[in-house]
Amino acid sequence: MTTATTDRQGERGMTLLAVMGLMAVFAIALLAVAPSVQMEVQREKELETIRRGEEVAEAIRLYVEFYRGAKLPNSMDDLLEGLPQGTKKRQILRASAAIDPLSEDGKWRLVKPDVQSLGGFAKRVQEYNGGLLPSNPSQVFDRWAIVLVNNLNTGTDSEVKGADEDADDSTENTPFIGVASRSKSTSVLTYYGIENHSKWVFTPLFRGSGSSNIRPSQPAIQADTVITTNE
């Protein structure tokens, strides 16, 4: 073996070591940024969930007001089918909003208009709003709100806050006044100070005057939505 051949082999060896060193640096850099990238992806998914949840809440409001409080939707299909308008139907909910981005099957949990399903969320909104629950957008919702308020005033904090912990995980064929994600994970964002996906309830209740002065994170999110980021 000549000296030139030995030198070339040595150069190839050094080049290989340099490439391996660069690859190791890149790998370390990727590991360093991975958590922040994952958090940003999760944040965007949660923002989309909130946007869609707010759309569902608005569709429920339109539905209940159309029937003057005498009827609640029983399934997402009731909202997707729209409302009678002459010989046609008026769309009140986009198909994409009927899908929960956080749950594995894409189905929202339907929240019933009772204390066990809504009490915990109402209590958290009350606390976030300085001890007062905002009014309702229409008097047709007062029949459900009065029951909730009475229980908030008479029940203990542990009873009320824990009311929605074991709420029925219904996704169809039940009268509902709100929806929530079926994901039980801790969130990156907080919604009305709540840091768990399954406790974010999107409902038209308590969306009238008297709510906190809120600055939304995105223009597409309604002004009565409280969102902050967990850092």
pLDDT value of residue 49: 96
Position 169 pLDDT exceeds 90: no
Mean pLDDT is lowest, of 18-27, 58-67, 121-130, 175-184, for: 18-27
pLDDT value of residue 71: 94
Confidence class for position 152, pLDDT limits 50, 70, 90? confident
Position 1 pLDDT exceeds 60: no
- Interval 51-93: pLDDT, tens: 999 999 999 999 999 999 999 999 999 999 999 998 999 999 9
- The C-alpha atoms of residue 161 and residue 164 are separated, in whole angstroms, by 7
pLDDT value of residue 75: 95
Entry pTM: 0.75
Measured CA distances, 149 to 123, 134, 163, 172 (Å): 9, 11, 14, 27
Q: Tokens standing for 141?
A: 């919702």
Contact 100, 49 (CB under 8 A): yes
Beta bridge partners of 110: 179
Contact 177, 204 (CB under 8 A): yes
At a CB cut-off of 8 Å and minimum separation 6, what does 99 contact? 52, 106, 107
Residues 125-146, mean pLDDT to the nearest whole number:
87
- The C-alpha atoms of residue 19 and residue 27 are separated, in whole angstroms, by 12
User: Which of 11-20, 133-142, 181-190 has the largest mean confidence?
Assistant: 181-190
- Interval 170-219: pLDDT, tens: 767 889 999 999 999 999 999 999 999 999 999 999 886 554 433 333 33
